[in-house]
Structure 1
Amino acid sequence: MADRHLEIEQKYDAEAEFELPPLDDLPGVSQAAPPRVQELHATYFDTADLRLASLGITLRRRRGGDDSGWHLKVPAGPDGKQEHRAPLGRPRVVPPRLAGLVAVHTRGAELGPVAVLETRRTVVVLRDAEGAALAEVADDLVSAYREEGDEPRRWREIEVELAGGGPDLLKAAGKRLRKAGARRAKSSSKLGRLLGGAVPAAPGATARAATRARLRSLTSNGKLPTVTAGDAVLGYLAGQLESLIDYDPRARLGEEDAVHRMRVATRRLRSTLQSYRPVLDRVRTEPLRAELRWLAGVLGEVRDLEVLRMRFADGPRFFLDDLARRERGAYRRMNASLKEARYFELLDALDALIADPPLDERAERKARKELPLLVSRAWDRMATQYRSIGTADDPDFARHETRKDAKRARYAAELATPVLGAAAKRVAKDAKRIQEVLGEHQDAVVALEHLEAARRRARTAQDAFALGVLYGREECRADTARDRLAVTWSRTLGPSF
């Protein structure tokens, strides 16, 4: 059983007398296999306040059929769900891997049974001329209840799930079913249909969506003069928090670039709370900045080792093995930290910041007047730090600090772009160029430190030579980045609002 796949399906409601129409003449279909009957028993798990259901997420343990086990389904587009699976295991113990993938939503709340569904399923597989499965059509008779002893609710529904077929087949099958009397289901899941109005709105997700929608509406409908500094800052913060939450499960799975993207969202949140301090009450934001710094550090250990692994793909085996071992350890520590109450309290506090923002008096000022001042201030801070490189006792440290200030200037300008347009976009691009050159230099500096440490552990002349070659390459990269920095800086103009 694959532990993960993208499920693309459509559901239709049908009356008891509904008859499944012929489907073997749909586009690409050569035959409809004889129907098979399955008896399915599923127990659905959620928090007591139905946090997963409020987000359209379902977690169940199902017996019967071809895929007995635990199934976690997360919405992924209009007709798609990302499904993660695990073996049956113990009836009331959610597999830790699946529990971890929804921890960013449950945030320490216990997962327990919330509903039971028993389904008599008649399955018809649609196949092409070679016999390959294109889609599976399931005719389900459902009995569902929330508590043992409840009078069960019963209904019939038809599911069409793609296997090897494409969207045209899904569309044609739906058209055929509707013509025969089926109706597109109002709920995307059986659990959603059972719970109905009992599912609350997800307060955090609702507030984030409303905040972002307000900013989009004001900036896209020509109402820029009415956008306040508070609107711009909160809209950006809501977007970055949404990104952090989205990449959390992907980072836990070790998906390519997921830790990096989650770390960037964390840094953008922290940078915004610093660059736009005049807009938000510091009593609320300063503790959040400290916790975001902690989270960035947790993610940074993994990310730094990922960068080194990719950078030294041609390094000696003992060095690569050591990096891989350390990266695995960093992932374990990261996943442990992402289970801590400290992390969940940070997420709750960020959600509260969006839902009940601690706006300062400058938040009510027009964004078109306030944002240029704050973006310029962030740029000036970077410029001051850049000028200190030439006289610094530790130029590499000064370059690293300049890089951090370049990130803040970039993020400050990105936030302002929906309001200030091309002028802010240009500042963001200039700051990004500075950041990237300094990033190349910092990566080389860090790489040199690791190579020097590895050189002392080399056991053969061949390994020592290979590390020496890599060391020379990184020295060249650092020199090149230093040379490019002056040229890149000379081509930046700074803010001109």
Structure 2
Amino acid sequence: MASDASDTDTPSRHTEVERKFAPAETAVSPSFDGLSAIARVERLPEQRLDAVYFDTPGQDLAAHRITLRRRTGGPDEGWHLKLPAGPDERTEVRLPLGEGSDVPAELRDVVLAIVRDRPLAPVARIETSRTVDMLYGHHGTAVAEFCDDRVTATRAADDEHLTWREWELELVGEQADTGEALLDRLANRLFDAGAEPAGHGSKLARVLARAEDDAPESVRDPVHRAVAEQVAEMLVWDRAVRADAWDSVHQLRVVTRKIRSLLRASEDSFGIEDDAWILEELKLLAGVLGVARDAEVLAEKYETALDELPPELVRGEVRERLVEGGKRRYQAGWRRSLTAMRSERYFRLLDGLEALVAAEPPEAPPGEEAEPLSVESSYAKVRKAAKKAKAVAADADVPAAERDEALHRIRKRAKQLRYTAAALGKAKVADRAKAIQSLLGDHQDSVVSRVHLLKEATAARDAGEDTFTYGVLFSREAEVAHRAEAQIAKALKDLRKAVKAAT
């Protein structure tokens, strides 16, 4: 397994691809002879593993198929945080044992959106006697690991003891990325030896009697289901932001705004008003994330643009100001985002979102009916914004900034329509609305970029630097905006046709 960290005090991340099996107590270990991918098998000395698992009082980590343990014994003893990454795949975040038995802050922070301000305490202890067979390929490198485990587990809640036998198959090295077919062939040998699929994704799941792979209870209506899915996505992107994964701040911001848009479009279904605190908190969070997002987008935009220009057109300190300066602003914005995401205010927002999803829809007052979410009502807002933008564009006395804002309003309404249409299963409408959103997103990015270019060009001029390249980039951005404006009429026409066909 490859790690992305070299500092022993820094969490390292590993990809873990494994399957678990339930053999009979008297089953004989499988033979891997005759498999073309396996050249030899080496049995390692028996391992004694002792792991204490931690979770919140409500077992919130287990509910999200996450395990957190402190394990002694074996070659990888230490703290292990396992995060789901696919049917057979997990991302394992590791730290050395260190001193004491309290959960390290570095690991707690990874799952802070789930744990929030709830305590983490031991929920189970699992002791394992493990026999390991290392499976080597023809090039002499290990490709997989077969473990025969004898397990003794104790639940902290009632001190009940459980014992069972378990087999594990885990891919190692490069096979962890490309060896699904090998995993299937190896698994067949275990089935031939009398094993069955384990029926649980982790030993802890068995101890807690939690079926990790059970589908969640279906949500009542499309809108609640869509919001529930986005709240789940929010927790996933939260982890990515904390790891500073590429584009993660942008994606968390997108999810945050999508949730707000869906809630605003169906306030009656959730029993909230236009000025509900949860809508305001979502807006503020999106604003905080926007600082890092805008800096990241601009830095990448300018880096690409400068690389495309002939060298003789790139003059002065433009790359330092626009690219390196943007990267520094991104880091500052990212740290500001983390501060917000570690606050009690953020935890209460997540609590509120989960409560909205879980609550029964409010009953309408006698004699009234809640207005259902519909494509028609959302499209009417797009049409109104487009009509306003057309009138603004026709008035030569209107400032350019006001015309830009009118187009931006179309984008916001199209975005709301896209999310509504997707929630209601109107894919064609959602696609056409997305096209408008993307088109006018490029336009808005151009507006933001030109403002930024003017600001940086002024600073460069005041510092006595050559400002020629800023003008070149400004002209390119203006062309982007003009192209978007030229295409918007057709995009709106295509949307109108899609809405008509869907209704």
TM-score by length of structure 1 reads 0.84
Over the residues paired in the alignment, what is the CA RMSD in angstroms?
3.2
Of stretches 14-23 and 442-451 in structure 1, the one that deviates more from structure 2 is: 14-23
Looking at structure 2, the residues matched to 90 and 148 of structure 1 have their Cα atoms a distance apart, in angstroms, of: 25
What are the equivalent positions in structure 2 for 1:380-419 lying under 5 Å apart?
380-390=383-393, 391=395, 393-417=398-422, 419=424
Q: CA deviation at 1:258?
A: 2.2
Looking at structure 2, the residues matched to 417 and 450 of structure 1 have their Cα atoms a distance apart, in angstroms, of: 34
Looking at structure 2, the residues matched to 260 and 246 of structure 1 have their Cα atoms a distance apart, in angstroms, of: 13
* Alpha-carbon displacement from aligned partner over 1:427-447 (angstroms, at most 9, x marks no partner): x34433333332222212211
Looking at structure 1, the residues matched to 425 and 323 of structure 2 have their Cα atoms a distance apart, in angstroms, of: 47
What are the equivalent positions in structure 2 for 1:286-305 lying under 5 Å apart?
286-305=276-295
Q: 2:320 aligns with which of 317, 320, 323?
A: 317
TM-score by length of structure 2 reads 0.83
Which residue number corresponds to residue 314 of structure 2?
A: none
Shift in CA distance, 75/437, structure 1 to aligned 2, threshold 3 Å = closer
Count of residues in Structure 1 that have an aligned counterpart in Structure 2: 469
What are the equivalent positions in structure 2 for 1:195-206 lying under 5 Å apart?
195-196=208-209, 206=216
Q: CA deviation at 1:87?
A: 2.7
Shift in CA distance, 366/156, structure 1 to aligned 2, threshold 3 Å = same
Q: 2:113 aligns with which of 98, 104, 112?
A: 104
Which residue number corresponds to residue 478 of structure 1?
A: 481
Looking at structure 2, the residues matched to 239 and 149 of structure 1 have their Cα atoms a distance apart, in angstroms, of: 34
Which residue number corresponds to residue 315 of structure 2?
A: none
Determine helix, strand or coil for the equivalent of 2:380.
helix
Which residue number corresponds to residue 331 of structure 1?
A: 334
Shift in CA distance, 270/157, structure 1 to aligned 2, threshold 3 Å = same
Looking at structure 2, the residues matched to 201 and 79 of structure 1 have their Cα atoms a distance apart, in angstroms, of: 12
Q: CA deviation at 1:69?
A: 2.2
Where does the alignment leave 5 or more consecutive residues of structure 2 unmatched? Answer: 4-11, 307-317
Shift in CA distance, 478/184, structure 1 to aligned 2, threshold 3 Å = closer
* Alpha-carbon displacement from aligned partner over 1:183-224 (angstroms, at most 9, x marks no partner): 321222111222226x9999xx94xx511xx5xxxxxxxxxx
Shift in CA distance, 328/89, structure 1 to aligned 2, threshold 3 Å = farther
Letter of the aligned partner of 1:146 in structure 2? R
Looking at structure 2, the residues matched to 38 and 447 of structure 1 have their Cα atoms a distance apart, in angstroms, of: 59
Looking at structure 2, the residues matched to 454 and 54 of structure 1 have their Cα atoms a distance apart, in angstroms, of: 49
What are the equivalent positions in structure 2 for 1:83-482 lying under 5 Å apart?
83-147=92-156, 150=159, 152-163=161-172, 164-165=174-175, 166-196=179-209, 206=216, 209-211=217-219, 231-283=221-273, 286-313=276-303, 314=306, 315-359=318-362, 361=364, 371-390=374-393, 391=395, 393-417=398-422, 419=424, 421=426, 425-426=428-429, 428-458=430-460, 464-482=467-485
Shift in CA distance, 239/54, structure 1 to aligned 2, threshold 3 Å = closer
CA contact (8 A) 1:37 1:121 kept: yes
Of stretches 270-279 and 250-259 in structure 1, the one that deviates more from structure 2 is: 270-279
Looking at structure 2, the residues matched to 97 and 284 of structure 1 have their Cα atoms a distance apart, in angstroms, of: 38
Q: CA deviation at 1:160?
A: 0.5
Shift in CA distance, 97/360, structure 1 to aligned 2, threshold 3 Å = same
What are the equivalent positions in structure 2 for 1:22-61 lying under 5 Å apart?
22-61=31-70
Shift in CA distance, 188/274, structure 1 to aligned 2, threshold 3 Å = closer
Of stretches 8-17 and 99-108 in structure 1, the one that deviates more from structure 2 is: 8-17
CA contact (8 A) 1:13 1:184 kept: yes
Determine helix, strand or coil for the equivalent of 1:129.
coil
Looking at structure 1, the residues matched to 139 and 196 of structure 2 have their Cα atoms a distance apart, in angstroms, of: 32
CA contact (8 A) 2:378 2:413 kept: no
Matched, 1:79 2:84: no
Looking at structure 2, the residues matched to 404 and 93 of structure 1 have their Cα atoms a distance apart, in angstroms, of: 50
Letter of the aligned partner of 1:191 in structure 2? L
Q: Percent identity?
A: 36
Of stretches 187-196 and 370-379 in structure 1, the one that deviates more from structure 2 is: 370-379
Where does the alignment leave 5 or more consecutive residues of structure 1 unmatched? Answer: 215-230
Determine helix, strand or coil for the equivalent of 1:316.
helix
Letter of the aligned partner of 2:183 in structure 1? L
Looking at structure 2, the residues matched to 167 and 19 of structure 1 have their Cα atoms a distance apart, in angstroms, of: 25
Shift in CA distance, 283/134, structure 1 to aligned 2, threshold 3 Å = same
Of stretches 127-136 and 153-162 in structure 1, the one that deviates more from structure 2 is: 153-162
Shift in CA distance, 168/329, structure 1 to aligned 2, threshold 3 Å = same
